[in-house]
Structure 1
Amino acid sequence: MQHATSSRDTKAEIHRAAVHLFSTQGYDKTSLREIAEQVGITKASLYYHYSSKQELLRAIVGTFLDDMFQILKLPETLPWSPENERLVLRAYVDVVVAHRSTGPTLLRDIAAVLAAFGDDLDALIAQSRRFQLWLAGPDPSPADRLRAGAAVETVGAAMSAGADLPVTDDELRLVLLDAAGAVLARRGLPVGE
């Protein structure tokens, strides 16, 4: 006897519904019942996939954080050069763009994310600092280090501003690379010039 298989990807549907609801009404104000209703499943079915709302948040945001951590480690394997800088910056932007629907969740409910990830975020922040130091280039001045940090933050700020805009991933990627590159292009210049 053959069993019919469903082409439905319930976990992906749960993720999409949760990201939408977390982004629009907040993590704390979203119930698992609302997520289940949006997907068209029972709350019991949702519990089959995720035992709690925090576990669901970890699944959604965790993929982004795992991917970001891998990108932030890239400079450990590459010497700094203009070519490697472009390669690493492009990989960083690619991860941000690939997870563009997760961004509003991170920004809106940072307290929930901190509670769900704790030590993982501490490691990510430390890795991000090393990433920014690498982006600052060889023998960076304090201003160059600030510019490298600003370039990374520019990607995040532009991403949050463009998260809901009707632009393609390719358009978004080009704008983010251009913005970060413009900040880094000032590296080595005295402050105020």
Structure 2
Amino acid sequence: MAAPRKDDVRELIIKATEDLLQTKKISDISLAEIADCAGISKGTLYYHYKSKNDILFDITDRYLDEQYENLVAWVENPEKDTSLHRLIKFVLEGDVGTAGMRLHFFYDAMLGNARIREKLLSRYREFAEYIAARISERTSEVPADYLAWLLLFLSDGLFIHQTLGNEHLDTRLFIEQTGEIFKRIE
């Protein structure tokens, strides 16, 4: 039987780490645990990743790439209604709906992981620029840069409150109401 390809082993490692991150912080997960969960030896894990930070960095890249690609695909789909209020709802719903891993990235960045921090800040700028460009195509009533950053801040706040289980905030209703408010600007 042939040995697994390098990409396949890296995928096993990433998947195992993501699974472990569902119930633990990255700081509470050992490389041995990741190897065990992936069904590989510690030596194989170390061959592909020298540290948990390297794994987390790849997970961060994948997660943020996927979010960006989903946004671009939705906005550029000519069959979709991508008017301003729908764009706003899509951004908020997408960010809130995929928030789980982002908490780990924030946590690690706040604890001093400079690579993750820089990656997050860089990707926030990329998202903000793309969203601002799409907003400016749809309205001049609101400064596009301002609204893009406002959406990113709102989405972070919403996912944090959703994660905390804030029973006084109906996230779906809030997003719906936000869309309706911006529908008036169109």
User: Common fold, TM-score beyond 0.5?
Assistant: yes
Residue 15 (1) aligns with residue 10 (2): no
Matched letter for residue 180 of structure 2? A
Q: 1:44: which partner in 2? A: 43
Give the CA deviation at 1:107.
Answer: 3.5
> Which residue does 1:115 correspond to in 2?
115
| Matched-pair contact (CA < 8 Å) for 1:154–1:179 | no
Question: In angstroms, what is the RMSD of aligned CA positions?
Answer: 4.4
**CA 1:150–1:91 in structure 2 vs 1: closer, same or farther (change >3 Å)?**
closer
CA distance in 2, matches of 1:83, 1:69: 16
Superposed displacement of residue 46, structure 1 = 1.0
Amino acid in structure 2 at the alignment position of 1:83: T
> What is the percentage of aligned positions where both structures have the same residue?
19
3-state DSSP of counterpart to 1:51: coil
- Whether 1:104 aligns to 2:103 is yes
The answer for the alignment partner of 1:27 in structure 2 is 26
- In structure 2, relative to structure 1, the CA distance for the partners of 1:83 and 1:34 (3 Å cut) is closer
Please, which runs of 5 or more residues in structure 1 have no aligned partner?
Answer: 166-174
Q: Judging changes above 3 Å, is the alpha-carbon distance between structure 1 residues 133 and 181 closer, same or farther for their aligned structure 2 residues?
A: farther
Which amino acid in structure 1 is aligned with residue 57 of structure 2?
A: R
Q: Which sections of structure 2, spanning at least 5 residues, go unmatched?
A: none
Residue 141 of structure 2 corresponds to 140
Instruction: Give yes or no for contact 2:13–2:38 (8 Å, CA) kept in 1.
Output: yes
What does residue 56 of structure 2 align with?
Answer: 57
**C-alpha distance in 1 between matches for 2:108 and 2:149:** 23
The two structures have a TM-score, normalised by structure 1, of: 0.59
Deviations 1:107-134 (Å, cap 9, x if unpaired)? Answer: 332336642362x444322233332574
Aligned to 2:155: 155
1:187 aligns with 2:182: yes
- 3-state DSSP class of the match of 1:83? coil
Deviations, residues 22-67 of structure 1 (Å, cap 9, x unaligned): 4544233432122113333221121233232222111111011223
Work out whether residues 132 and 148 of structure 2, in 8 Å CA contact, stay in contact via their aligned partners in 1.
Answer: yes
Cα separation, partners in 2 of 1:129 and 1:69, compared to 1, 3 Å: same
Task: Please give the alpha-carbon distance, in whole angstroms, between the structure 2 residues aligned to 1:10 and 1:164.
Answer: 34
In structure 1, what residue type is equivalent to 2:102? G
* TM-score (ref. length: structure 2): 0.61
> 1:70-97 CA distances to partner (integer Å, 9 max, x unpaired)?
456679979xxx7343257537745764
